[in-house]
Amino acid sequence: MTDTEVRFPYQDAALDIEQRVEDLLGRMDAADKAGMLFHTMVGIGDPSEGNPTFGLPSAHSMIRKRRMNHFNLLGSAPSGREFAAWSNALQRFAREDGLGIPITFSTDPRHAFSDNPLTSMFAGPFSQWPETLGFAALASPERLERFGDIARQEYLAVGLRVALHPQIDLATEPRWSRINGTFGESADLTSELVVGYIRGFMGSELGPESVSTMVKHFPGGGPQLDGEDPHFEWGKEQVYPGGEQEYHLRPFIAAIGAGATQMMPYYGKPVGTDWEEVGFGFNKDVLTTLLRDRLGFDGIVCTDWGLLTDADILGTPMPARAWGVEHLTRPERMVKALDAGIDQFGGELCTDVLLDLLASGAVAEDRLDVSVRRLLREKFRLGLFDDPFVDEEHAEAVVGRADFVQEGLDAQSDSLTLLTNADAILPLTRGVKVYAEGVASDVLAGYATVVETPAEADVAILRIKAPFEDRDRGGFSAMFHSGSLEFPAEEHARLTAIAEAVPTVIDIYLDRPAVLGGLEESARAVLADYGASDEAVLRVLFGERGPQGSLPFDLPRSDAAVVASRSDVAFDTEDPTFRFGHGLRY
């Protein structure tokens, strides 16, 4: 064990992990155990200062006062070296106190090229790749495993040991705002891809060179009523009008078979099923009877963030996502979640509430021990007790390595999906006069002559985004793209007018399906992307690299077709404009 002598059996790397777990468990007091069960955010910055934006105390106080040692990192550092130095400093602080339990640092996705900070942390110094829908478009478990291995190397270099992903919900409700984190609509494809994903991050088995994956959102968060999202009270209902619960379970069964060791249930509460109508984090039918007993999962179950405590986020009150148990007090919610089978409370700080429940006898210490064993076992398997530190020079060399960046750029380009290509307008000829929207002029200038109006152009390139309704009700609700999939009439008319004035190529970012409404006929070519830079798109438009993607979901014909479909049934909209798997080549 680096820079620490072996004084107790749990510090001895030569012993069996189970021996080490039991030795350490016997040395932990109630506060140590309670702290293990909380997994919340911490910002990269001065660890002695709190984060007022998210109402968080300092990292130092969470470690010392609350005995916490699982943290989801917010933000990024400018370089791999600085990221690693920050991680090392906090690990040293943790090691110097009490039993010296190391920190497990986790993260939401960081590698996607995306401008939505809610669904994907900005890549910062890391290599940039398409979002998961792009990998679904490529439909290659091997290529996804390669991405997972590169992401693992970059995570590992800076001390990130748990990926709060993959998200393997199925996109059967086209309006749902979190489709961009999924692998699309097909249970078969998602089941194949999740195996490659987990292998890339974990390897053949969990060990000191692994990044653990927290698979989400059990038992599948796709079939939300009207496509709304259960982060919010107005989207709390999850429905199965087609009775397709088993379809949504299939990717999770594949993930368990691939060795996934962590699982996150979603916020929604099932309505109209045999399950109790309470949020999945409180749902014993789902977490114990289904996940643990039927599917045999014995890993860590961590709730999604903020099930217990009301909060204020970005200046807006945010009630706890305690759907179906809103009437319970915070201690009662905690008891219900523990009884349901959870091991950790995501995004929560209330260790005092758990300690009070222990003191009163409402929660038995033996119950805590069940979860603490799982959490300790994972830390030991990851090698954190033997060496939690990272090499800062190595981090500088690995994070954002040139060949990783190039592979990410190639994947962005390859994932592009060519929907139409009338008269073989693509690929374009270099030097052609282009009127562009949504493309950086300095990047485009490397390929074409940039002009200011459609009248001057030989061709127009329009980079647009899938439409959505403005649902800004404060907090971070504006970051959820919900509602209609159709373009507003004025915008549709504007795009059509450009296409009628000059041959037009449309590239549309699909963070969920879009109703094209005839744009596929007005434009000479339509291309779909799933998180791709201007450079990645232009390489394809000008023939440096051919599109290899296929649609990971159907593109519905209309909003009316979506409303008439069943939210849990795949490929259920009538007469879609383009089918799953469609994609042209040149």
* DSSP string over 449-499: EEESSGGG-SEEEEEEE---B----STTGGGS-BS--BPPHHHHHHHHHHH
Q: Is residue 114 part of a domain?
A: yes
Same domain (yes/no): 388, 420: no
Same domain (yes/no): 388, 436: no
Q: Is residue 23 part of a domain?
A: no
Q: Is residue 135 part of a domain?
A: yes
Same domain (yes/no): 508, 366: no
Q: Is residue 25 part of a domain?
A: no
pTM score of the predicted model:
0.96
Which of 347, 371, 398 terminates a domain? The answer is 398
Dist CA 551 CA 518 (whole Å): 18
For 242-285, write each residue's pLDDT tens digit: 999 999 999 999 999 999 999 999 999 999 999 999 999 999 99
Same domain (yes/no): 382, 448: no
Average pLDDT value for the chain: 95
Same domain (yes/no): 450, 525: yes
Exposed e or buried b per residue across 59-68, where buried means at least 16 C-beta atoms within 10 angstroms of its C-beta: bbbbbbebbb
Domain containing 514 — which CATH number?
3.40.50.1700
How many domains is the chain built from?
2
Same domain (yes/no): 352, 455: no
Same domain (yes/no): 390, 428: no
SS3 363: coil
Q: Is residue 358 part of a domain?
A: yes
Same domain (yes/no): 315, 428: no
Same domain (yes/no): 335, 443: no
Q: Is residue 238 part of a domain?
A: yes
Which of 364, 398, 432 terminates a domain? The answer is 398
* Of residues 17, 165, 27, 158, the one with CA closest to residue 101: 27
Q: Is residue 510 part of a domain?
A: yes
Tell me which of 32, 169, 229, 304 is the catalytic residue.
304
Same domain (yes/no): 202, 292: yes
Q: Are 176 and 105 in contact (CB under 8 A)?
A: no
Which of 366, 398, 430 terminates a domain? The answer is 398
- How would you write 68-132 as a 3-class SS string? CCEEEEECCCCCHHHHHHHHHHHHHHHHCCCCCCCCEEEECCCCECCCCCCCCCCCCCCCCECCH
Dihedral, CA atoms, 164, 170, 172, 173, nearest 10 degrees?
Answer: -10
Q: Is 3 a known active-site residue?
A: no
Residue with tokens 């705002």: 177
* Of residues 172, 153, 162, the one with CA closest to residue 216: 162
Token couple for 278: 């309470």
Distance of CA 201 to the CA centre of its chain: 14
Dist CA 19 CA 41 (whole Å): 31
Same domain (yes/no): 290, 327: yes
Can you list the residues of the chain whose pLDDT is less than 70? 1-4, 114-122
Token couple for 348: 């929560």
Quick one: pLDDT at residue 5?
A: 79
Dist CA 222 CA 262 (whole Å): 20
Q: Are 329 and 356 in contact (CB under 8 A)?
A: no
Cis ω on the peptide bond leading into residue 427 (within 30° of 0)? yes
Q: Are 567 and 402 in contact (CB under 8 A)?
A: no
| 3-state class percentages of the chain: helix first, strand second, coil last, to nearest 5 | 40, 15, 45
Q: Is residue 410 part of a domain?
A: no
Dist CA 508 CA 129 (whole Å): 17
Give CA angle at 175 (170, 181), nearest 5°: 45
Same domain (yes/no): 506, 359: no
Determine the structural domain holding residue 384 and report its residue range.
Answer: 40-398
Domain containing 121 — which CATH number?
3.20.20.300
